[in-house]
Amino acid sequence: MRTKKAIIIGSGVGGMAIAIRLAVQGFEVQVYEKNDQPGGKLSAFKKDGFLFDAGPSLFTQPKNIEELFALAQEPIEAYFSYQPVNIACKYFYENGKIVQAYTNAKLFAQELKEQLNESPEKVIAYLKESEKIYNNIGTVFLNNSLHKKKTWLNKRIGPALKTLRYGYLFKTLHQHNSKHFTSPEAVQLFNRFATYNGSNPYKAPSMLSLIPHLEQNQGTFYPLGGMISITNALYQLAIKKGVQFYFNSPVQRIIHQKGLVKGVVVYDKSKLAEVVVSNADAYFTYKNLLADEDAAKIILQQERSSSAVIFYWGVTKLFPQLQLHNIFFSKEYKLEFDNIFTLKKLIDDPTVYINITSKMESSQAPEGQENWFVMVNAPANIGQNWAQLKIIVRKNIISKLSRMLGENIEPFIITEHTLDPLQIQEQTASYMGSLYGTSSNSKLAAFFRHANFTDTIKGLYFCGGSVHPGGGIPLCLKSAKIVSELIKQQDLR
C-alpha cells in the first residue's frame, strides 16, 4: 500500500508539531521553510558573547510538548528538559510598589495582601474561577475545532455552557478585574493577561480571565538552554520520525484542482501530496499561495493583534532586583492600549517587559553580565517609520528603567540588536507584523478566527498562531493536534 504524503508549509512550532503527528500517523512528511532554520518566531541568536531568545519568552503548559514525545514513543529526557519557576513575574509600578507573582497561589495571595492590601480570599477565589473557566470552557473550545458539528455534540458542551456566564462574553476583562480587586495595581496586573494574545483588556471579553490559570495555577517553567531548546527538541524529534525538512525553500503556491489539494510549487517544481498543511499566516496563504483575494479580504475584516518593538541588550552589570520575567508598568495603561489599537502609535511611557535568561543559566551571558530581552507592545505595521520610532522608544525605555531602577542603565548596554513590526513581517510572514494574527478585542473573536480547514479545498489544513485556537506556543501546539485529529478522521463532519 502506497504511503500517503503530507506537505507542511512553514516550520514554526505548529508546523513541526503537525509534522511529527502526521509522521506518527504513517504519512511521508515534507516541510518547506523559507528561512534557513526551523522555529519561525521561536528562534535565537548570539552576539558578542550573549545568547538571546529572539521570540516568545514565556513557557507554560509543558504537557503539550510531553504529549508529542509520548505519542512518538521517544524519551523526552534525551531531547528536552525544563524546571519550574517560583516567581512567574516581578511587577514594578511607577508609584514604587513592587509585586512578585509567586506561582504558589497562597504565597501570591499573601503578596497581594502585603503589597496592595488585597484580600487573600478574593485572590484565591479569582484564581479558582480562572481554573474553572479554563477546565470547563477553555479545554473544550481550545482543544477542538469550533467549525465541526462533532465539537458541539461533545458531552462536555453541557457543563461548558453551564459555566458560561453573560459577563464572560459581554463584559471586558478590565470590568471583570475591577469587580474582583480594589487596588488599581492588582487590576492592572490581571489586565495584562490580555496581551498574551495581543489584545486590549479594555475591549477584550472577560473570558480571557482564564489565562492567569495557565501561569499562576498550572505554573511557569524555564526550558534549559532557553526557549530555543523547544525548537531544537521538536526539530530533532521530527527528524527522528523521518520528517524531511527543506530550508531556504519558500512555497510559491498551493496546487488544487476541482476542490482537492494536490501539492505545492517550490522553485517552479511541483511537489505532490494528498495533504497540505499551512503553518504560514492565513492571510498570506490565501493571498499569495492560493491567489484568493476575496478570502484574504475576509480575514482582514478582523482586527490585527498587537505587535512589538524589541531591544536585545547585552548588559555589563548584574541586577539582583530583577527576575527571569519582569514588567515595568505604564502609569497610563488605558491610554497605552488606545494608542496601540486606535491611533496605531506608541506612548512616551510604555509598559516594558524584560526577560533575562541568564538569571536561570549564567552561561547565557559573559561572567558578571546579563542578556536583556526588552519588549514594548506596539501597533501592527501600517507603514510607520519604525527606524525613527525605535530611536524614540529606546530613549523612553532607558529613561523609564533608569528612573524605576534608581540608576542610569544606558552606560551598561554594550551590545544591541533590535526587532520591529516590519522586520517581524519580513522574517516570519506574519501579516502587518501581528504577533498573534487577529486580536480578541471583540466578544466573539474566537469564533471568527480562521478554521483549521477549508470547505472549498479538501485536504488543505491550517495550523499556527493565525488560526484557531490562536497565538502563543501552547495554542500553536493545540492547533497541530486539532489538525492531526481532523486528518485522522478523514474530514468526517
Q: Residues, the chain, total? A: 493
Q: What share of the chain is helix, strand, coil (3-state, %, to 5)?
A: 45, 20, 35
Bond from prior residue into 62 cis (ω within 30 degrees of 0): no
Count the Cβ atoms, other than its own, within 10 Å of residue 236: 16
pLDDT of residue 216: 95
pLDDT of residue 438: 86
* Rounded to 5°, angle at Cα 352 from 440 and 174: 40
Question: Which residue, 233, 237, 118, 136, is CA-closest to 180?
Answer: 118
* Three-class SS state of 201: coil
Alpha carbons 262 and 289: distance in angstroms, whole number: 13
Q: Beta 5-9 vs 370-378: how paired, if at all?
A: unpaired
pLDDT of residue 491: 45
Alpha carbons 324 and 353: distance in angstroms, whole number: 10
pLDDT of residue 161: 59
- Provide the b/e sequence for 49-61 (b: ≥16 CB within 10 Å): ebbbbbbbbbbbb
Alpha carbons 49 and 112: distance in angstroms, whole number: 38
* Domains, the chain: 5-42+227-303+438-488 (3.50.50.60)
Q: What are residue 87's phi and psi, to 5 degrees?
A: -115, 110
Bridge partners, 432 (sequence order): none
Say if CB 15 and CB 40 are below 8 A apart. yes
* Three-class SS state of 102: strand
Residues 6 or more apart whose Cβ sits within 8 Å of residue 43: 37, 53, 54, 55, 228, 231
Question: Which residue, 178, 204, 211, 163, is CA-closest to 60?
Answer: 211
Say if CB 11 and CB 38 are below 8 A apart. yes
Question: Which residue, 66, 11, 69, is CA-closest to 42?
Answer: 11
Taking CB atoms within 8 Å and a gap of at least 24, the contacts of 333-338 are 333/188, 333/191, 334/174, 334/202, 336/377, 337/200, 337/201, 337/202, 337/203, 338/202
Going residue by residue through the chain, which has 493 residues, state the pLDDT in tens, using 9 for 90 and above.
568 999 999 999 999 999 999 999 999 999 999 999 999 999 999 999 999 999 999 999 999 999 999 999 999 999 999 999 999 999 999 999 999 999 999 999 999 999 999 999 999 999 999 999 999 887 888 888 877 877 666 766 666 656 766 567 779 999 999 999 999 999 999 999 999 999 999 999 998 999 999 999 999 999 999 999 999 999 999 999 999 999 999 999 999 999 999 999 999 999 999 999 999 999 999 999 999 999 999 888 889 999 999 999 999 999 999 999 999 999 999 999 999 999 999 999 999 999 999 999 999 999 999 999 999 999 999 999 999 999 999 999 999 999 999 999 999 999 999 999 999 999 988 999 999 988 888 876 666 789 999 999 999 999 999 999 999 999 999 999 999 999 998 743 3
pLDDT of residue 1: 57
Say if CB 472 and CB 193 are below 8 A apart. no
Q: What are residue 213's phi and psi, to 5 degrees?
A: -60, -40
pLDDT of residue 446: 64
Distances (CA, A) of 14 to 21, 60, 67, 325, 467: 11, 15, 14, 24, 11
pLDDT of residue 140: 80
Alpha carbons 249 and 10: distance in angstroms, whole number: 10
CA gyration radius, the chain: 22
Query: In 329-430, which residue ranges form alpha helices assigned H by DSSP?
Result: 333-338, 386-405, 421-428
Spacing of C-alpha 224 from chain mean position = 19
Question: Which residue, 109, 107, 112, 162, is CA-closest to 140?
Answer: 162
pLDDT of residue 153: 66
Say if CB 11 and CB 429 are below 8 A apart. no
